[in-house]
Amino acid sequence: MREQVRLTKFSHGAGCACKLGPRDLTTVLGLLGDVPLPPEVLVSGDTGDDAAVFALPGGGALVATTDFVTPSVDDPYDWGRIAAANALSDVYAMGGEPRLALALAAWPVEELPIELLAEVLRGGRDVAALAGAHVLGGHTITSTEPIYGMVALGFVDPDAIVTNAAAAPGHALVLTKPIGTGMISTAIKRAIATEEQVRAAVGTMTSLNDGASAAMVEAGAAAATDVTGFGLLGHLRRMLEASGTAALVDASAVPLLPGVLDLARRDVVAGGTKRNLAWVNATTDWGEITEPERLVLADAQTSGGMLIATLDPERLAAALDVRGVAHAQVGEVEAGPPGHIRVQGRVVGE
């Protein structure tokens, strides 16, 4: 019988915690500079949005994105499902519907059985199928570290695109998944996660954001982003900077996965989360919360929920409830220096 392989042992940073930090990414993009774009480009990288949108000649628009990550859990099938849900989430964040995907994989063939890669790809294919998307090919390379993700393509009504650049003062901020997957993935990597934590994190990370996306479009939400590697406050900061606004966050209203605050207090924290915290420190008034609580709000998520800005939170809540999507109102957009965040209250753990 083959000994069970722990995929997270081969990961330098679990899941989206492996992302280039927001400060480094901003520097790199600044060095590239701007380029002229044709009028068909409806959304590009200049606002830091989740995906690009391109108008099609016959009407409608194409949503295009890509995302790939290192292992966030040890089970290969679950990791494949998580990585696929994470990649497809960027299409949902624009109000689009995924239809086509291409797999991207790197595999240490000398270290890990090739059969495990097949399980990863199977997990990704199964989640894509749940989303109504077809995996029609892809690309694989050999590597010293396992990596998996997707190019995801979908369609959106050009008049119903939801970007992260339209959050205005008075808009409520609604979050649709609990946070803490980065810390639980780090606990898995260190072999200290409880079974309850693993179940909760896998359940969260494999859940598609299709219901949240449909609800925000139906309710006429103003702006949205999915919460992934830059953490809740990192993605909120990017939304606020793109929108020219500030925000108030109620830390006590932010839902957490089991035991996350305790993990933060024990420094079970990914390097990517600490980079996130260093980046948001300059634009955040933390109030009375402690360093572990700050780390929770900056935790690098993998396949996190949607952060939605809306002028009508009751209508959005009703649309989410009909679809069985959990949600919490965690703050409000306000006038102020672009990207500035005020935190009130305390993070509530178990």
Give the residue numbers marked as catalytic: 16
Give CA–CA dist 61/50, Å, rounded. Answer: 15
Encode burial over 227-247: b for 16+ CB neighbours within 10 A, e otherwise. Answer: bbbbbbbbbbbbbbbbbebbb
Q: Please, are residues 60 and 155 in contact by the beta-carbon 8 Å criterion?
A: yes
Q: Please, are residues 259 and 46 in contact by the beta-carbon 8 Å criterion?
A: no
Q: Please, are residues 262 and 131 in contact by the beta-carbon 8 Å criterion?
A: no
Sequence-distant (6+) residues with CB within 8 A of 312 are: 219, 220
Q: Which residue has the tokens 């790939």?
A: 68
DSSP secondary structure letter of residue 229: T
DSSP secondary structure letter of residue 195: H
Q: E strand or H helix at 55, and its extent?
A: strand 52-55
DSSP secondary structure letter of residue 5: P
